[in-house]
Every structure is written in C-alpha cells, then in structure tokens.
Amino acid sequence: MDAATLPRTPALASRLPQVGTTIFTVMSALASEHGAVNLGQGFPDFGCDPALLDAVDAAMRAGHNQYPPMTGVPALRQAVADKVEKLYGRRYDANTEVTVTAGATQAILTAILAVVHPGDEVIVLEPCYDSYVPNIELAGGRVVRVPLTPGSFRPDFDKIAAAITPRTRALLINSPHNPSGMCWTEAEMRALDALLAPTDVLLISDEVYEHMVFDGLPHQSAARYPGLAARAFIVSSFGKTYHVTGWKVGTVVAPAPLMAEFRKVHQFNVFTVNTPMQHALATYMANPAPYLELAAFYQRKRDLFREGLSTTRFRLLPGEGTYFQCVDISNLAVPERDLPEGDFCQWLTREIGVAAIPLSAFYGDGFDQRVVRFCFAKKDDTLREAIKRLARL
C-alpha cells in the first residue's frame, strides 16, 4: 500500500480552537497526584441523603427504567412548577414551560442553540462559568464580554447598557455567582428589568446555586420579576441542591413560546434524561426541608472556613452565596504570592497541599487580580485540614 491508500484519520479544523483541558480537570489531577486537599473543583466530598438513594432504588424496582417523556417525568415537572411558584411567585405550566435536562450544562447549551443564530451577539458577565463562551461559539454567536466590577463583582449597568446593540440576542447572568459568591440584589434585578424592557434581548439566568444564599437574604430569581421572566430561560441543577453533582439532572423553566424552541433542540440533543433519577427526585421534592435548609447548612461551612482563614494573611472577599469562597493572595508572607494566579494555585497544590482555582480561568483574557477560589462544600474535617495547611502562609 502506498501512503495515499493507507488508512488515514482526516485532519479537523476545530470548532473550538481555543478550548483545551479545563482548569478544574487540571487542578483535580494535580491535587490527587500530590495528595492535596481538593478545594478546587466544586463538588461535595460527602454523600447525599440516604432517603434519596432509597427513592432511586424504589423507582428502579417499580420498573421506571425505560424512556420517560421527552420533556421529563410529569411528576417532576409538576414538583418543579409548584416549587418555583411557592418560592418566587410565578406559575409555570408544568406541561409547556418546564423541561428536565441533563444537568444545567445541557440546559444552558440547549437554550443557546435554540435562540442564537450565526452572528448574533450574546453578552456574558466576566468572570463567568467556563461553558458559556464555547456554547455561544458553537451556536455561531459572537461573545460580548462585560466585566463585573473587580473586587465586588457587582454588575455594572453602564457597561451592560453600552454592550447592548441591535444584534444582541441574549444576556447570560448567574446568581448566586460562581466563582465570586456574589448574589444579585432586588435593586439590581429591577435595574436589569428596566434596562432590558425596551429591547428584545433574551435572558439566560443560571440559578444553579439558588438555594445557597446566606445571611437570611432571599434568592433573587428572575422568576420574581415579570418583565425578566417573560424573556428568560431559568436554569437550575439538582446536583448542587441535593449533593449529587454526578447525576447530572437539572431543569429549565421558560415561557411557552421560548420553551417550544428549546424543546426542538432538546429533542435531538439528549431527547430524554435518566428515568429513575427523575422519579426519585419527584418523590424527594415532596419534602421542602432539604432545599429550604441548604442555605443554613452551607452558611455554617462558610463561617467555619472564613473563621479559620480570618487569622491568616489571606484576605477574605465577601461570601454571599454558593459554596465558594474567594480570597486575595497579595498579602501572603511568601514570594509565591507574586506568581500569576494559575501558577500560584499549582504551587499551593504541590507545596502546601491545598488545591484552589485561579479566578483568571474565568476570564477570556486571563485577567489576574490576585484572587483564587476555594470550594467549601466539604466535610468539616476536610475544611479544618485545609485551614491548618493554609495557616502556614
């Protein structure tokens, strides 16, 4: 055989040339290689409620093992519609306005694919979750990056307003916010409502940490604001709420005309989501206590972690929500404090034995503000061990 007839894998022009291995994978691998306490990637190191596992077992044994309806198991869609109405005061129709997804990640991608045409502009507020930008690029959209205010991470409405053009198709927001823990206030949601009211800009509201807002404050869901809800896909995740990130089950709610388009893409994307998990979640949701008590559960861990770091040279940034705590490293008593954030995190993992995520990973241009993110969704003992190690700095 000459070279021309040898089996040959054709070369590809990448659809996502900028994308490499995510920082979360890199840091988790480094953490396990060095036996570090992994406060990098955002997932709990403790189990879920055994009652939820029993509900899965019961659902499987009851024979719920074949394809469910494309839009999700009716009882789960109903439970989600009821919960959203009870908490945020807006009634979504369980049949036409609620869809169960394979985690929030798929919900966000599907919403973007459903509404973004090639050349449309989509605004993201940086720092932002790492899937948004590649999602927009896959849809052929143009990413418009608007920074949140450095330090406070609060939305800057002048900057958002300046970014809106006749080509703007959608704005992506995330509250409570990963990585900063910032939570939008009522005044900010109202300001957004007023800003978008005269436009046709859609809103994709990533609310996966909706049940982790601390200090007694309410979660400002877009569902509370009729003007925003009328243009919004609102996304949530059972993985975050019930300590089962590996199950990858989420939901999206949206007005019927938006949801109809969402479902066209969903149908040929995943089609359906794991049946027994959906039945189990529907059963488990009958008791609101686990999601209503989640904020107190994580607030205690936030306080334990913040208290432990308060005597160190890490400067704590506000921690209003999520299970992340950001810290400024510029006052540390070691020369490595001057390393770029990413190199600092690698050094911290290797030499101090605690993995963190650099905030620069959440910016397109790698903006470095001397801040790293820790995840405190960990057992108290894990957090105490991390604090002990970090106290050396």
* Residue numbers 164-203 binding ligand PLP by CB under 6 A: 174, 178
Task: Tell me the residue number closest to ligand PLP, measured at CB.
Answer: 103
Question: Would you tell me how many other CB atoms lie within 10 Å of the CB of residue 312?
Answer: 17
Distance of closest approach, residue 95 Cβ to ligand PLP, in angstroms: 23
Q: Please identify, using beta-carbon distances, which residue of 88 and 324 lies nearer to ligand PLP.
A: 324
Read off the amino acid at residue 378: K
Q: Is 42 an interacting residue with respect to ligand PLP (CB under 6 A)?
A: yes
Question: For residues 298 and 315, what is the distance between their CA atoms, to the nearest angstrom?
Answer: 20
Q: Please identify, using beta-carbon distances, which residue of 372 and 387 lies nearer to ligand PLP.
A: 372
161 token code pair? 């307003």
Q: Is 237 an interacting residue with respect to ligand PLP (CB under 6 A)?
A: yes
- Binding residue (CB under 6 A) for ligand PLP from 44, 127, 239, 358: 239
Question: For residues 348 and 322, what is the distance between their CA atoms, to the nearest angstrom?
Answer: 23
E strand or H helix at 240: helix 238-241
Q: Please identify, using beta-carbon distances, which residue of 42 and 68 lies nearer to ligand PLP.
A: 42
* Residue numbers 248-287 binding ligand PLP by CB under 6 A: 248, 250
- Binding residue (CB under 6 A) for ligand PLP from 97, 121, 193, 206: 206
Question: Would you tell me how many other CB atoms lie within 10 Å of the CB of residue 219?
Answer: 20
Q: Stretches 145-153, 244-252, 256-264, 266-274: which one binds ligand PLP (CB under 6 A)?
A: 244-252
3-state secondary structure 331-393: CCCCHHHHCCHHHHHHHHHHHHCEECEEHHHHCCCCCCCCEEEEECCCCHHHHHHHHHHHCCC
Q: Stretches 237-245, 258-266, 325-333, 362-370: which one binds ligand PLP (CB under 6 A)?
A: 237-245
Q: Is 342 an interacting residue with respect to ligand PLP (CB under 6 A)?
A: no
Q: CB within 8 A of 104, min separation 6: which ones? A: 206, 208, 235, 236, 237, 239, 250
Q: Is 129 an interacting residue with respect to ligand PLP (CB under 6 A)?
A: yes
Q: Is 103 an interacting residue with respect to ligand PLP (CB under 6 A)?
A: yes
Contact residues for ligand PLP, defined by CB under 6 A: 42, 103-105, 129, 174, 178, 206, 208, 237, 239, 245, 248, 250
